[in-house]
Amino acid sequence: MAMGYVRPARPEDAGEIARIQLATWRVAYRRILPRHVLDNLDEAWLARRWSAAVQEPPSGAHRVLVAVEQAEQSYLVGFAASGPADAEALAPGEPAEALAEGVAAVTDLLVEPRWGRRGHGSRLLAATVDLWRTDGFDRAVAWAFDGDEATRKFLTSTGWEPDGAARALDVDDMLVPQLRLHVAVPAEPVATD
């Protein structure tokens, strides 16, 4: 029987996080982002960025977590990255104070498609929310591609809602619409039976 759990990312995980990001983007975003952009993403460059995020986060509230599938062997199958909301979390023209202190931002929440529907995304999100609670965040935001129905459906099924903010990313001269979702961070874990 396979089991899954979440733990903080370690420096040696950076390469696997980059591989998961690349594999997931190439499957999940193949109809959203230009193919040549996805084909030209550099896994080594991504790994260096993840190594820096894990080893030298901008603050103690910036975290990278990994989901592990454990059976006869253990496999990294997904990851989540978040931290205090910054300018990247703002909508175009939105004043900096719109996302005041106490707001966390999800920058990445990905589970490799072949490991989907096994609870890894839910475990990653629950562990992330627990850390936000510890850090004193009372609200969180996340941007999702308008065409990424799976991410939007997952987040809304866990209580996230669109907050009305939208933007379009310029990806190699193609505008890709995104919408922002938000959720209140409960003060205490919600009991489940």
Task: Give the DSSP H or E segment for 167.
Answer: strand 161-171
| Paired tokens of 61 | 């509230």
pTM, whole model, 2 decimals? 0.91
| Span 110-153, pLDDT tens digits | 998 876 776 799 999 999 999 999 999 999 999 999 999 999 99
Lowest mean pLDDT among 46-55, 71-80, 173-182, 183-192: 183-192
What's the CATH architecture for 4-184? 3-Layer(aba) Sandwich (3.40)
pLDDT tens sequence across 74-113: 889 999 999 999 999 999 999 988 887 899 999 999 998 8
3-state SS assignment for residue 82: strand
Q: Contact, 138 vs 102, CB < 8 A? A: yes
The arrangement of strands across the sheet holding 3-8 comes to: 3-8, 63-70, 74-84, 103-111, 139-145, 174-184, 161-171
Q: Which of helix, strand or coil describes residue 181?
A: strand
